[in-house]
Amino acid sequence: MYVIVYTYSMSKNRHPRQQQEFLDELAGLWPLAKGSLTEVRKPCIRPNCKACKEGRKHPAFLFTFTLEGKRRCRYVALALVETMRKALDNGRRLEKRLFELGGELIEDHRKSRT
């Protein structure tokens, strides 16, 4: 979605300085993701697991996102959790910036008409 919005709105090249500033800002926002990360507790398959017997179970992380209008969930490896948190934070920053850019585009157009 972001690439489509960016490509359409920036392809006319009316604002080359702003376009370059956005590209520079975007380069610093990798990795990117949109969705949510949730910690859940799951039992394991070991019959004598102490954590499961005590009811603590084992931590697991789920990444939930929307794809083609449908909610999807994927398990996230523990080694990838911090990267996913950063990606989600960067995704929120990008989404906020896109909202700001929409308003700035309208304001620039209004100023250019006067």
Backbone angles phi, psi at 62, to 5 degrees: -120, 130
Looking at the predicted structure, is the pLDDT value of residue 4 above 50?
no
17 found inside a domain: no
13 found inside a domain: no
pLDDT in tens, 25-58: 888 889 999 999 999 999 989 989 998 889 889 9
Q: How many domains does the chain have?
A: 1
Q: What is the DSSP letter of 48?
A: T
Where b means 16+ CB within 10 Å and e means fewer, 77-106 reads: eeeeeeebeebbebbeebeebeeebeeeee
Question: 2-10 and 81-113 helices cross at what angle (nearest 10)?
Answer: 30
42 found inside a domain: yes
pLDDT in tens, 70-104: 999 999 999 999 999 999 999 999 999 888 888 88
Write out the residue range of the structural domain in which residue 105 sits: 35-114
1 found inside a domain: no
Strand partners, 62: 38, 75
